[in-house]
């Protein structure tokens, strides 16, 4: 039995299980939090969580850089690990300071009652960023068991600690305090997994700290565009809808986020393969098919079993949004497929392909600000995401066609030279 468990933990199946645990725990926190806090207070917490999601692009940029470089150049793992950790700690400190300075602006943007919530968002940036560097190293080395534990530690403590804080003090301030504390749990797991530091035997010119930083910034801005796209609608909702309606929209987004993060393990497992070049197109096609299949099942369930689905989207307090839940399920599926395509762009170190994501973001905000209802806003977001998905599919099909050159891969030459 022990051997079987270890075999699963050290395989890609183990990552799927670990991320399922993380997502269920995260979802459990959102579900309990929305019920304990109510629509108006939860709307503020949801907006704060979306800001943290956008901030996490720094961590995800570091993770993508480490994972891609280790997968593409395994002979220099020690050098990559040394450089990425150095950049990670410095980036975490810098982002924390920047967010502290921006705290008053964040309070006004999100219409928060307490400046302390914005300060807690800034503090949470530090562990959030550190985890990104740790996860990238483990992902690139395909150390699935350790990475799985890190992901579990990213979800379960948030459920336990965050819910306890809300039950004690059901306010947006204490909800964010519980989240901030829980963010240090995966940091401890990552530190333990990487405690036996390897020292590089030689210097690889392509893996200097500056090279890591430049690639991480490039990856980060691409991911920032995606996560801003996937999160800006709640900010728009807070500005064009009433507090009650924005809370209802946030309740619908619980299901959308569940559909977005449910197939997250597909991205984690597929990315190292997409970064090596060999089997890149097959990995993308299989991954997109799997995400689409999961999304179809989830959307049908949200439509046919909406009475049950609403229990997983805030409960009876959010009953007004029940007839629209299937639309939010479609939204989450679209975002999940777009995310996979964005990571495919990062794997081939694409540059120009990211511009279309920024264009979609601007379009969503501009059109979204003209809406006046929950249905109008979610329909707008879905239509923008459909257009973006079709464009990215076309671009990916062009660059990954048989015999196509790789004009967007300047970094690959450096790594292989």
Angle between helices 12-55 and 264-276 (to 10 degrees): 100
The pLDDT of residue 172: 84
The predicted model scores a pTM of 0.75
The pLDDT of residue 413: 35
Helix, strand, or coil (residue 350): coil
Cα separation, 299 vs 319, whole angstroms: 18
The pLDDT of residue 406: 46
- Helix H or strand E encompassing 372: none
**pLDDT < 50 regions, the chain:** 403, 405-417
CA 288: distance to chain centroid? 17
Domain boundaries of the chain, sorted by first residue: 2-195+205-416
- Residue carrying the six token digits 């030279």: 417
> Quick check: 336 and 263 in contact, CB under 8 A?
yes
pLDDT digits (tens, 9 = 90+) for 140-159: 888 888 999 999 999 999 99
Cα separation, 354 vs 396, whole angstroms: 12
> Quick check: 342 and 223 in contact, CB under 8 A?
yes
Cα separation, 364 vs 65, whole angstroms: 29
pLDDT digits (tens, 9 = 90+) for 10-41: 566 778 888 889 988 887 888 788 778 776 67
CA distances from 210 to 65, 84, 92, 216, 223 (A): 12, 10, 16, 10, 20
Backbone angles phi, psi at 405, to 5 degrees: -70, 170
């Amino acid at each position: 039995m022990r051997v079987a468990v270890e075999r699963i933990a050290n395989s890609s199946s183990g990552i799927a299980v670990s991320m399922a645990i993380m997502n269920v725990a995260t979802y459990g926190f959102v579900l309990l939090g929305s019920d304990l806090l109510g629509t108006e207070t939860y709307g503020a917490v949801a907006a704060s969580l979306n800001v943290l999601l956008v901030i996490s692009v720094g961590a995800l940029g570091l993770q993508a850089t480490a994972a891609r470089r280790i997968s593409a150049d395994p002979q220099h793992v020690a050098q990559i690990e040394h450089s990425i950790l150095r950049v990670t700690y410095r980036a975490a400190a810098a982002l924390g300071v920047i967010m502290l300075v921006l705290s008053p602006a964040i309070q006004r943007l999100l219409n928060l009652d307490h400046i302390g919530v914005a300060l807690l968002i800034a503090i949470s940036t530090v562990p959030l960023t550190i985890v990104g560097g740790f996860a990238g190293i483990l992902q690139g080395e395909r150390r699935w068991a350790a990475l799985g534990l890190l992901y579990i530690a990213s979800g379960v403590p948030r459920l336990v600690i965050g819910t306890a804080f809300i039950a004690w003090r059901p306010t947006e301030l204490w909800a964010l305090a519980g989240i901030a504390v829980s963010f240090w749990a995966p940091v401890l797991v990552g530190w333990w997994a990487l405690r036996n530091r390897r020292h590089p035997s030689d210097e690889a010119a392509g893996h200097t700290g500056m090279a890591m930083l430049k690639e991480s910034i490039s990856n980060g801005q691409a991911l920032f565009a995606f996560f801003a796209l996937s999160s800006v609608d709640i900010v728009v909702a807070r500005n064009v809808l009433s507090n009650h309606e924005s809370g209802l929209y946030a309740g619908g987004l619980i299901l959308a986020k569940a559909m977005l993060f449910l197939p997250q393990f597909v991205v984690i497992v597929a990315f190292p393969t997409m970064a090596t070049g060999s089997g890149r197109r097959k990995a993308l096609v299989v991954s997109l098919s799997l995400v689409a299949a999961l999304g179809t099942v989830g959307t049908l369930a949200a439509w046919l079993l909406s009475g049950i689905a609403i229990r997983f989207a805030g409960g009876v307090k959010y009953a007004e949004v029940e007839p629209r839940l299937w639309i939010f399920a479609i939204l989450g599926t679209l975002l999940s497929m777009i995310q996979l395509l964005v990571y495919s762009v990062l794997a081939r170190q694409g540059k120009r392909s990211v511009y279309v994501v920024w264009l979609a973001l601007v379009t969503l905000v501009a059109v979204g600000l003209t809406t006046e209802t929950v249905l109008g806003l979610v329909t707008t977001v879905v239509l923008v995401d459909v257009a973006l998905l079709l464009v990215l599919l076309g671009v990916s099909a062009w660059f990954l066609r048989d015999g196509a050159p790789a004009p967007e891969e300047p970094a690959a030459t450096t790594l292989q030279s």
